[in-house]
Structure 1
Amino acid sequence: MEMNKLLYFITIIEEKTYTAAAEKLLISQPSLSAAIKKLEKEVGLPLLDRSKKGVQLTKVGKLLYEEAKRLVLHHEQVSNEMIRLKKEGPLKLSIGIIESSKVWFPRVLTQLKLEHENVFIKLLEVLSLQDVEHSLYNFEVDLAITNQYVNHKHIETIPLYDEKLVALLPYDHKLERKNFITVRDLQDENFIISEKGFQTREDILKAFSKSGVRPNIHFEIGRLETACDLVEEGLGISVVPENYVKHIQHRAIRYKRIHDPNVMRTVYLIYDKKRYNSPIVMRTIELITNNFKTIHHSKSL
């Protein structure tokens, strides 16, 4: 399949009409229509349902659209990388991160900048599973640090470390005075939890379920920072990654470790192993994995 035909096909779907697509592609409408018919002939099946009003995809068309979009994006990325190498322009890197990774990730960035002084780094917070998958599949990030396990044949998922989840309490809360707390101690508290789609939510609910209790959920939030704000105001308690509380500056907040082996989560490094990954991407992956190899080795000594 020719790349320009795939591009024409994608543009028709996204612009919704042949007229708008032809204008965007700077070609005539008859030429565009002829290219799509040639593509259908090459595939051997209809891609557009012409019995319906407007641009409607067949089942085969939907499948080709998703794969064609990835191919075109991949082609553009490789082409841009070749142009960059030819011109020796600045290196670029886009990384998805979760909030708790801020406690260690700057060390990796420092090492990367020492090796590649001119690299331009874009950091995006990709929190929910939908965020992670969308950012990878649409080439918005080169790699991501996440607590989401992405089950896809094209995605390489590397476990980095397990981190404990801790109870976040308002200042002078009654639980702060206990020597240790359990999940059962949290069951009657006004609970602040991540919204649906976040793996941390699932980890917390699973821990509660195994202890035979149900959290008294009063607030659902999208960011750990919001949970901290609500706890600081005395509106409830929350459970957050221990690494995250190491860098927050809220003075009216305390945290307690929870004596329960189920209250933890796994953090992963993920990237698309089927796309072209530049040397700077692969070096970043190496720096991240080596960082945790070093930590695990030092702990075992």
Structure 2
Amino acid sequence: MSDDDTIESEIETAIRDNHPALITYVCAGDPSLEATAAYVEALDRGGADLIELGLPFSEPIAEGPTIQASIDRALGAGTSPQGFFELVDELETDAPLLVMTYYNMILQYEAAETADAPGTDGASLRGGPGVGPFVERAADAGLSGIIVPDLPAEEADPLRDACDEHGLDLVFIVAPTTEGERLERIMSQVSGFAYVQARLGTTGARGDVSNATHDSLARLAEYDGVPKAVGFGVSEGDHAAEIVEAGADGVIVGSALVDIVAEHGSDGDAPAADALEAKAHELKAGAIRGADETTPPKDTPEPEQP
């Protein structure tokens, strides 16, 4: 965030006060908005320090099959931007909330609401009224930040200005290949935290932590003005521990949680909520364990001589 900003970042505060932070993701409306409310509350109880809510869009280019399937279920259930914001209006959590969605949804929020068109495709969303109405509604609902996977930093000035006006953070994703002028541009635009992509490709739970994670955190070490959180592939407490030990300020977990929703969804809300709460506990404990590994032992005083 720019030096002349006077609005305190709720997201940065949450990360620093709860370091290392656990950031979780679920798609709003999978399998219903009512169920999502229960899932968000469960993650909050489980130790999530920030919670991303996906606003479903029919062309989620950055997502792997797990989250794509979640988005399809949410759209099939009729989830719309209006329903999304009504959900956020009613949520009460200790963890700040962010929305993760795609730029066309933001650009055409007002038009899509007028047409009552959930999951409108990109072809019908060109030439919209701008980003202001969406950002204003997000702020009114109590959201603390926005993540837009398909928005290049070079084209982000209108959204950056709107977020600054309404006191929201704008989070950018830093890929393993991002460097040079492009990295400088992203790090000058980002606020809240830098979303460090752990590996190339799309989202999805993995069995290990990519070496690219360590390389990316080392490359970003000089940018100490904003926290760094690592996502893409994080699914276990041991992953969280390794990532935090490597220097991350937080870990981001999505597909592993969406898998729980898909597994338990047919059994009703309670089994999924319980499993999500337990998974959040595991991941937060892993992150804390990783931080403990990076804390140097206290100096042992020399014994007094007789």
> What TM-score do you get using the length of structure 2 for normalisation?
0.23
**Larger strand percent:** 1
